[in-house]
Amino acid sequence: MYKSLVSLLLITTLLYSFSCERNEEVVPADTQQLVGSWKLLEPGAFNVTLVVEPVVQTWERLPDKAFNLSGESAVNIYSSRISYEAPDQRTISIAPIISTKRGGPSEAMQFEQLYFANLMAVNRYELTGSNQLRLYYGGDQPGVLVYEKIK
């Protein structure tokens, strides 16, 4: 009985340790590390950028925990605002996206609309030790947008 209990405990521990293994080290939450220019890697059908900048306070009262968000998508230029909840700085939300209204090839327009929908559904982020940003989104088909820091 004792040997089977020890064996079961050992197997459970091994299975748990393998299931928790990651390929890349996750950097502790520090929203200032979001600041910079990022290039979308996945899905990478088009050249898409994301720029995160600190909010400069103006006459309107903005949350202290917010950043401006902008970039170039498959066809249009876009902007929005990203905010987070303390103390869990990894829980974020993205405001509705404003974009230019240029037209383009249908594949690019479809990709862009899906990208904007997924970006607005982002609810969590992760930074890895290899300068990667992962934005996790929910919705009908949850997934992740993976970026690489370029500046």
Q: Work out the average pLDDT over 93-113.
A: 95
Length of the chain: 151
What pLDDT sits at residue 59? 56
What pLDDT sits at residue 64? 60
Q: Work out the average pLDDT over 113-118.
A: 96
CB 150 within 8 A of CB 39: yes
Full-model pTM: 0.74
Q: How many CB atoms lie within 10 A of CB 112?
A: 20
Q: What mean pLDDT value characterizes the chain? A: 79
CB 137 within 8 A of CB 122: yes
Amino acid making up residue 23 = N
Domain boundaries, given as residue ranges, for the chain: 29-149
Confidence band of 83 (pLDDT split at 50, 70, 90): confident
β-strands 66-72, 143-149 pairing? unpaired
Residue 109 phi/psi, 5° resolution? -65, -40
**Residue-wise pLDDT tens digits, 21-67:** 444 444 445 667 788 999 999 998 899 999 999 887 665 555 567 88
Confidence band of 80 (pLDDT split at 50, 70, 90): very high
- The burial of 127, by beta-carbon neighbours within 10 Å (0-12 exposed, 13-18 middle, 19 or more buried), is given as buried
* pLDDT higher than threshold 60 for residue 8: no
CATH (residue range 29-149): 2.40.128.270
Q: Work out the average pLDDT over 74-97.
A: 85
What pLDDT sits at residue 89? 60
- The burial of 82, by beta-carbon neighbours within 10 Å (0-12 exposed, 13-18 middle, 19 or more buried), is given as buried
**Torsion of Cα atoms, 95 then 100 then 106 then 111, to 10°:** -30
